[in-house]
Amino acid sequence: ENLTAARPKNPFGADSLTKVYAVASGKGGVGKSTITANLAVGLAARGLAVGLIDADIHGFSIPGLLGVTDKPTKVEDLIMPPIAFGVKVMSIGMFLDTDQPVAWRGPMLHRALEQFITDVYWGDLDVLLIDLPPGTGDIAISTAQLLPTAELLVITTPEHTAAQVAARAGQLSTQTSQPVAGVIENMGPLQLPDGTFLEVFGSGGGQAVSDRLTAVLDQHVPLLGSIPLDPVLRADSEVGTPSVLSSPEAAAGQALQSIVAQL
């Protein structure tokens, strides 16, 4: 099979039929990578052809979340991505020594993302997810240039201050002309054994970001769901088995499945 001959320059260009979601957050530690990994696996479990690019250079964690230890292989001049739970996965982390700190500049990141898009054999994907670095950095602009059909998914915690930062990340979409497909709240109220809820990070942040972006952007930006704080999600993530598959009955697993169904 001559793979090279069939390869378009940018398979995710303006006329691409692949649905592209860039997953963004205002700051780190809100569960962006955990959610991205689970959404990818959940979509693949529904029979879709799914790719996942981990562009979070300083905090890359997708390989660990999906238990990927394989490196990409080369066939002719194409890079073949490892596959985990049916998802084709490429991570900056696969090319780095994990013990080395990363000091890449914007242009290098842009080039790395470009190579992930043009030099990797993705095949015909239904959905491509990009795990962006937190904040509103260069890579968000690169994503808009390289993946012109990308829509943003904005992750926030329920906290008021976190929501403000997340809304700012979402508002960057006005500069990059990217639609915002929706907001996902994470680390929502934790259900205690007696059935009551503990609002560890407060409440309302997801709705606040949805309202804010709907007001500022010229579109309705829905809140796609709230994923509760759930020790099961953390434990599953740590061993590389996404809750959406391995713990579908857990509180976080259920919320994730409901979000997958809306994408």
Rounded to a whole number of angstroms, the minimum distance from the CB of residue 110 to ligand ADP is 21
Give the residue with the Cβ less far from ligand ADP, 11 or 26. 26
Q: Report the nearest approach of ligand ADP to the CB of residue 149 (Å).
A: 23
For residue 50, the cross-strand partners are: 87, 127
Q: How far is the CB of 80 from ligand ADP (least distance, A)?
A: 26
Question: Which CB sits closer to ligand ADP, 112 or 233?
Answer: 233
Instruction: Give Cβ neighbours of residue 85 (< 8 Å, ≥ 6 apart).
Output: 40, 41, 44, 45, 66, 242, 245
Return the number of the residue (197 or 219) whose C-beta is nearest ligand ADP.
197
Distances in Å between the alpha carbon of 33 and those of 16, 92, 259? 25, 13, 15
What would the two tokens of residue 188 be? 């929502």
Nearer to ligand ADP, 28 or 248 (CB): 28
Q: Return the amino acid letter for 69.
A: T
User: Is 13 one of the annotated binding-site residues?
Assistant: no
Instruction: Please identify, using beta-carbon distances, which residue of 172 and 229 lies nearer to ligand ADP.
Output: 229
Q: What gap in Å lies between CA 242 and CA 69, rounded to an integer? A: 15
- 18/243 with CB nearer ligand ADP: 243
Q: What is the closest distance, in whole angstroms, from the C-beta atom of residue 82 to ligand ADP in the complex?
A: 20
Q: Residue 224, SS3?
A: strand
68 has binding-site annotation: no
Reference 117, options 173, 49, 53; nearest CA is 53
The beta-strand segments (E) located in the chain are: 19-25, 50-54, 73-75, 78-80, 83-84, 87-91, 127-131, 151-156, 180-188, 190-191, 197-198, 223-228
Is 67 within any annotated ligand binding site?
no
Q: How far is the CB of 101 from ligand ADP (least distance, A)?
A: 17
28 is in an annotated binding site: yes
Residues in the chain: 263
| Shortest Å, Cβ 93 to ligand ADP | 13
Residues that bind ligand ADP (CB under 6 A): 25, 28-34, 59, 61, 186-187, 227, 229-230, 233-234, 237, 252
Q: What is the DSSP code (8-state) at residue 96?
A: S
Annotated binding site for ATP: 26-33
Annotated binding site: 26-33
